Structure 1
Amino acid sequence: MDRNTLSIKCLKSEKSESGSLYGQFLINPLQPGQGITIGNLLRRVLLSDLGGTTITAIRIAGVKDEFSIISGVREDILEILLNLKGVILKNKTKNPQFGRLKVQGPAVVTADSIEVPTDLEIVNPNHYIATISTSNVLEIEFKFEYGIGYKLANQAFYSKSQDFLQTDAIFMPVQKVDFKIENVYDNSNYITERLFLDIWTNGSISPDEAVFSASKFIIDFFNILIENNSTQEVVNSDEKVSLIPVNPHINITIEELQLSVRAYNCLKRAQINTIGDLLQYSPEKLQELKNFGRKSADEVFATLKNKLGIILQ
């Protein structure tokens, strides 16, 4: 492969009404076998290692716990928390920040009612939050945090004095990644490959920014390995080390299975974060999870078999 001819080109770029973004990229020319290596690596990093900012806690005036009812508001606390998960934020800093919302009814409350710091931008301002049917006032304070992956709400409140209600947080800006590889033959029947990469994001980052960040992450990671390798001495040992076979899939996060929202949330609530955690469950035990059901179980079984060749015993 001639490094001077290797290129990446954006073939498609689309934006949905919800604010999510889609991009298709072409990387070529690659040597035979390099497409699957690069495609898999980029997909893993795009889904697992890019961070984002989201709402991690709220405080509602006059509310003491998540089971309270807000007078004059159609939704209960749990419904409002669920709606707030859909608010997409673009952030210029990684520091925790705070915002607030204060609306007097009757009114339909959407994301553009949230007052955010100058470093924050709401990507989907028309996103629905709640409906106030009376002249009551709905007042909410928000905590925004930067993170990577997924964080479960470990406890209901930070402290009794603050009364902040934690929420499950999805920080991942990349929602889905697909790739395909095509062979290219020249006049002398020499084979090269070209890699097509499809990326969907929530709108807080563009697909081309996601590719750049993922590539930089990979480069920085391997640079660290190279630097450490040059400074460390190899120690020879005559002692025999017993190697125990390890399933290569156990550390893969369940985000990479790209399950439906229902199945994904049920697994997360059960503290099942990796394939290794999932393999600890038999099919019978899996179906006993709260709100899981047979349909979700069948989806998990089929995905494990088709993507990783794993069959739950």
Structure 2
Amino acid sequence: MNNFYIKCLKSEKVESGSIYGQFVIKSLHPGQGITIGNLFRRVLLSDLGGTAITGVRIAGVRDEFSTIPGIREDILEILLNLKGIVLKSKTNDLKFGRLKIKGPAVVTANCIQLPSEVEIVNPNHYIATITTSNVLEIEFKIESGTGYKLAGQTFCKKSQDYLQIDAIFMPVQKVDFKIENIYDNSNDLTERLFLDIWTNGSMSPEEAVSSASRFIINFFSSLLENKLPQETKESENKTLSAPKNPHTNIAIEELHLSVRAYNCLKRAQINTIGDLLKYSPEKLQELKNFGRKSADEVFTTLKNKLGIVLSN
């Protein structure tokens, strides 16, 4: 494998500030393409860290089911919009941001005042509309992490007065790969691996590949030294005791339901797929303002996206 190398073929910005990159790894032995492709994909999607808003404190609001006079959106809609803000931070420390704006106005992400080490990748992202002369005042709690954290899994002890938000820390949104067989003049077979990577804009695909490579190198170096990190052992224990249904901890936001169906589920404290699976179709339709149309939408989405059929 003396000729083994990786090359960036394409890197470009796509819609909503996302960045797409394509890479090729050449001169692989037969069978190595699938191994390296799967390894890169898992690390890129699961182990790279990012920054996100994890909680907000809104003036005059005590819970997520409130409304603010003069604001077109209710609190649940505002929290859902805030999840779409993409942040980039130079440090992993806990940080805070603030927003104070008087209407009438359209509130977007660039209205938020942040520390100098934090940058908003999508400043035009929509938050809310103020239709009167009222003032919207919000304080944001910003944290760093990996993966996906549900709102109940708090990071800061002093969080009682904050409305918690499900945080998506993952900078990589999607990874695809394909393998091609190459025959040389001597009819010897090698493989080349194509990696397609989409990020949320907080890091470039090139940075993502570099970070994933360092993670892989450090992990296997620790194995060679017989010093498996303690956090890896704890993660393994959690995996062994994880529930059999792999969809249990997925937040209902990932179903991309309509606002009406989403709000009804949140009001019933149904925050994850696990919570939703506790309801039979009949019991689900007994929820307040949850009609047959919303029920059909939930049943169809569960079946098409996750292959789940609610039982009676």
TM-score normalized by the length of structure 1: 0.77
Cα RMSD of the aligned pairs, angstroms, is 3.6
Q: Is the 8 A contact 1:10 1:23 kept in 2?
A: yes
Share of identical aligned residues, percent? 63
CA distance in structure 2 between the partners assigned to 1:33 and 1:88 by the alignment: 37
- SS of the aligned residue for 2:6 comes to strand
Distance 1:159 1:92, change over 3 A: closer
Q: Is the 8 A contact 1:263 1:296 kept in 2?
A: no
2:206 counterpart letter in structure 1? D
- C-alpha deviation, 1:252, in angstroms: 11
2:171 matches 1:173:
yes
Partner of 2:136: 138
- C-alpha deviation, 1:17, in angstroms: 3.7
Partner residue of 1:261 out of 254, 258, 266: 254
Segments of 5+ residues of structure 1 without an aligned counterpart are 231-245, 273-280, 303-313
Partner of 1:215: 213
Segments of 5+ residues of structure 2 without an aligned counterpart are 229-238, 285-294
2:214 counterpart letter in structure 1? K
- SS of the aligned residue for 1:65 comes to coil
Distance 1:35 1:288, change over 3 A: farther
CA distance in structure 2 between the partners assigned to 1:229 and 1:192 by the alignment: 34
Distance 1:24 1:45, change over 3 A: same
CA distance in structure 2 between the partners assigned to 1:78 and 1:229 by the alignment: 45
- SS of the aligned residue for 1:228 comes to coil
Matches within 5 A, 1:1-313: 1-2=1-2, 5-154=3-152, 163-228=161-226, 261-262=254-255, 269-270=271-272, 292-301=298-307
CA distance in structure 2 between the partners assigned to 1:253 and 1:206 by the alignment: 30
- C-alpha deviation, 1:206, in angstroms: 0.6
TM-score normalized by the length of structure 2: 0.78
- SS of the aligned residue for 1:82 comes to helix
Count matched residues: 273
CA distance in structure 2 between the partners assigned to 1:168 and 1:287 by the alignment: 28
Partner of 2:290: none
CA distance in structure 2 between the partners assigned to 1:59 and 1:132 by the alignment: 18
Distance 1:207 1:260, change over 3 A: farther
Partner of 2:234: none
Q: Is the 8 A contact 2:255 2:301 kept in 1?
A: no
- SS of the aligned residue for 1:40 comes to helix
- SS of the aligned residue for 2:17 comes to coil
- C-alpha deviation, 1:251, in angstroms: 9.0
CA distance in structure 2 between the partners assigned to 1:288 and 1:197 by the alignment: 45
Q: Is the 8 A contact 1:287 1:294 kept in 2?
A: no
CA distance in structure 2 between the partners assigned to 1:8 and 1:225 by the alignment: 24
